[in-house]
Homo-oligomer: A and B are copies of this chain.
Amino acid sequence: MHVTEHARLEKTAIPGIEHRTLASAAQGLRHLSIWRQSVAPGGATPPHRHDCEEVVVVLAGRGRAVIAGVSHAFGPDTTLAIPSGVDHQIFAGGDEPLELIAAFSATPVRTDLPDGTPLALPWAT
C-alpha cells in the first residue's frame, strides 16, 4: 500500500506525547521511518539515542533540544539533524503544542537510553 491517509495522533504512555507512525516497515520500507508527534507544553522526550540518523522538522511550537550535551532553543520552522548514536532530548516550551515530523534512516528504529538500556517505544518504529 503506497498511499495512506493519516489517522489522528494517539496518546502514548509517555506523558504529553501524542504520536502516529506515518510510514515504516508496514508500508514496505526498509531504510526509512517517519513519525508525526505533538508534544504538550512542558512535555519532553526521555534522553535517548538511535542507531540511525534522525531529522526533526518543527512545524509549529517552540522548545529546546539537547544534542550531545549542548542545548539549542528553537522555534517553528526549524530543522534538527541528529547523527547516529548521539544522545538527545527534546523539550516542548511555549504555550502551544510542539508539532513535529521526525524522519529516521532505518526501520525499525532502535532506541537506547544514554546508559545503553534499550527503550521499548510504545509505537511501531
Residues of A whose CB lies within 8 Å of any CB of B are 1-6, 22-23, 27-32, 34, 36, 52-55, 57, 59, 65, 67-68, 70, 72, 74-75, 77-83, 101, 103-105
Contact = CB atoms under 8 A, between A and B. Distances in A.
Counting chain B CB atoms within 10 Å of each CB, the highest count among A27, A52, A103 belongs to: A103
A125 to B, nearest CB: 14
Q: How many copies does the complex hold?
A: 2
27 contacts: A2-B65, A2-B70, A2-B80, A2-B82, A3-B65, A3-B80, A3-B81, A4-B81, A5-B78, A6-B77, A22-B57, A27-B79, A29-B83, A29-B105, A30-B53, A31-B52, A31-B105, A32-B54, A32-B55, A32-B104, A32-B105, A34-B55, A34-B57, A34-B79, A34-B103, A36-B57, A59-B59
